[in-house]
Structure 1
Amino acid sequence: MASSILVKVCMLISFVLYVQQVFSSSNTSEAAALLKWKNTLQNETQSRLSSWTFHPNSQSNSSANRSLSTIPCTWFGISCDPAGSVIQINLTRIGFQGTLHGLSFSSFSNLAHIDLSVNSLFGTIPHQIKYLSKLTFLDLSSNFLSGEIPPEISLLANLKYLSLFENQLNGSIPKDIGHLNSLTTLFLYTNHLDGFIPTSLCNLGNLTLLYLYNNQLSGSIPKDIGSLKFLTELDLSANQLDGFIPTSLGNMKNLSYLSLFQNKLSGSIPKEIGHLTSLINLSLYENRLEGSIPISLKNLRNLTLLYLYRNKLSGSIPKEIGNLAHLMEIDWSMNQLHGSIPASLGSLRNLSYLYLFQNKLFGSIPEEIGNLTHLTAIDLSMNQLHGSILASLGCLRNLTRLYLHRNKLSGSIPEEIGN
C-alpha cells in the first residue's frame, strides 16, 4: 500500500515538473521573441522598453527557475494569462520606431490583443501575422506602414477589431476579408487603398462600424451591403465610387451615420433611405446625384445634419422636411432645386445653418424663417427669390452670416437688421 502511494506521489511530482517545464519553455520562447524584436528597433524605442530584459535567478541553479525568471508578464506593455503566456501587447503612443518584421508571430500562440497605434511604425505588415490564431484585437493605426494589406489577415477567424487607418497602405482590400465572421469594427480609412470594395465584405454580419473613407476605392457600392443589419456607422466618403446608391441600404435599421460624400455616385437618392429611422447624420454631397429629394426623408425624425450640396438634384424642397425637428444643419446648395422655400422650414427650431444658395428657387423668403432663433448662418444667394427682405430677420440675434446676393429682391433694407 505504501509503495503504491509513493508511486502515485512520484507520478504527480513528475507531472507538475513536466507542466512547469512546458510553461517555462513556452514563456522563455515568448520572452526571447520579444527581446529579439526589441533589438531590431531604433535606439530611442529600446530605451523606452528598458524593463524588457533577462534577469537570471541568482538564488537557484535549476534550469526551471532560470526559465521562469524570463516570463515577460511584468514588462512594460505586456500582459499575460494565469499560466504566464503573453496575451496582450499594448505599446500605443510611446514614440515606437521600427518595423514588425523582427517579431516572431509564431512564438505567441495565445496572443489576443495588439495595440501599436499612434507611433512611427514603418515597413509592411508581415504575412506571418497569420500565425496569431487567437487574435481578437489588432490596432496598427496612425503609423507609417506601407505596402498591401496581407491577404493572410483574412485567416484570423477570431478577429473582432481591425484598425489600420492613417497609414500609407496601398493595393486593394483583401477579397477574402468576408471570412472574418467575428469582426465588429473595420477601420481602413485615410490610406492609399484602391480597387473595388470586395463583395465578401457583405458577409460580415456582426459588423457595427465600417470606415473606408479617404482612399482611392473605385467601382460601385456592393448591392448587398444592406445585409450588414447591425451596422451603426458607414463612411465610404472621399473615394472614387460610382454607380447608384444601393436600395438595400434601407435594411440597415440601426444605422445612425451614413456618409457617402465626395464620390462619383449617380442616379437618385433611394426612397428606401427613409427607412433608416435611427439616422442622425446623412452626408451625400459632392456626387452626381439627380432627381428630387425623396419625401420619405420625413421619417428620419432623429436627423440632425442633412448635407446634399453640389449634386444635380432637381424638383422642389419637400414641405415634409419641416417634420425633422432635430435638424441643426441643412446644406442643399449648388443643385437645381426650384419652386419656393417651404414655410414649414420655420418649424425647425434647432436649425443653426441654412444653405440653399446656387439653385433655381423663386418666390419670397418665408416669414417663418424669422422663428429660427438658433440660426447663425443663412445663405440664400444666387437664386431667383423676389419680394422684400424680411424685417423678422432682425429677431435672429445669433446670426453672424446673411447672404442674399444675386436674387431679385426689392424694397429697402429693414431697420430691424440692425438688431
Structure 2
Amino acid sequence: MNPTTRTQVAIIGAGPAGLLLGALLHRHGIDHVIVERQTPEYVLGRIRAGVLEQVAVDLLDEAGVGERMHREGLPHDGFSLSFDDRHHRIDLHGLTGKRVMVYGQTEVTRDLMQARRNAGLTTVYSAENVRIEGFDGVRPTLRYALEGRAHAIEADFIVGCDGFHGVARASVPASAIQTFEKVYPFGWLGVLADVPPVHEELIYANHPRGFALCSMRSKTRVRYYVQCSLDDHVEDWSDARFFAELKRRLPQADAARLIEGPSIEKSIAPLRSFVAEPMRFGRLFLAGDAAHIVPPTGAKGLNLAASDVGLLSRALAEHCRGSDAGIDTYSQRALARVWKAERFSWWFTSLMHRFPETGDFGRRMQHAELDYLVQSEAAMRSMAENYVGLPLDA
C-alpha cells in the first residue's frame, strides 16, 4: 500500500464486526480499507461466542458468506433452563416462530476472511501506532506504521470496530462521551474440548454452587462454562477439577452422560456490562465492543456487533446515494437496540448466577422467578423473543 491512500471508509479492526462491515460495504460498492493491529492468526485464535440470532444470520447471508454456516451450523429451536435437578425447555420456535444458529465466532471470522481474500480487498494486519485525526472535520485521517514505515488513509468516514480497548473510543474527548458500566463480582471459567455435547441443545444451569452453561460449537466440539471467583487462576483448574465441578451443577441425568475430554483451550473471562454514548462523533462511528459490552449469558455480544454494522452499512450506502438520514440517526437507532440487549443480558445474568451480596433472600427471589418463568407462557415468550433477537430496528 502507498504511504498515503484515499478511500471512502476506513475501518479499524479486522474482527467479525469490521470484516462483516467490509463485506456489506463491498456489496454496496463502497470503497474501504481495514486496518488491524494484530496478525490474522491472532484474530482467529480468539475464542468467543457461538450463538447467532436470525438478524446476524441474515446479515451474513446478505454479505455472501453464509453458505458454510448453513451447511455446518446447528439450528436450535430451543434451550433448557436447569434448576432443582430438572430441565425446563424454552421452546424458541414454538413461542416466536424463530430459531438461533449455533456457529462459532471463529468460523464466522474465518468465512469473512476467506471471502475478503477471494474478492481481493485490502486488509492491513500488524499495524502499529494506529491513531485518528480530524474526525470532527470533513477529511478524517487514519495513521499507522507498518514495518517501520508511516502510512496514512484519508477517508470520508472512519469506523471503530476495534474492541473495548481500541483506539477509536479512546480518541474521543472525554467531554463528548458518556459511559455506563457494571462490573460483576465473578467470572466464567470456560473449557473447549473435542467431545460430543451432553445435550442436543444448550443448558443454562442455576445451582447453589453457581451458574453453569453447556454449549457447543459442533456435534463433536463443546464449550462448557462454570461461574468462578475473580481470584481464581486457570492453572488452578485441572480438566478433572473442571468436569467434576460442572457435573455437580447439572441435573443428575446430564451429569451421568457427560463425556469428559482433554481441554484444547481454557480461560477465565470477567463479566461486565458497558455502554458508551453516543456512537457517532462527526465522521467517526463506533460499532461492536468499541461501544458496548454485554455479559455473555444472553449471547448478545457478536449479535449486537452484527446489528451495528448492518445499520451502519445501510446508512453509508444511503449517504452515497445522497441522503444523510441514516448516518444522522445511526447512534440513536443502534443504542435503542443495545440497551434492550443490555437489559436482557443483565436480567438473565442476575437470574442464573450466585451473587455473594444477595444472600438467602436473593437466592429465594431467583428461585421464585425461575419457577414463575417456566410456568408462564407469557414470561417464556418474552424470554424467547429476547433470546432469538429483536428486529434490527427494535
* TM-score of Structure 1 vs Structure 2, range by shorter chain: under 0.3
Q: Which has the larger radius of gyration?
A: 1
Between Structure 1 and Structure 2, which shows a larger proportion of helix residues?
2
Structure with the bigger percentage of strand: 2
TM-score, normalised relative to structure 1? 0.20
What TM-score, normalized by structure 2, do the two folds share? 0.21
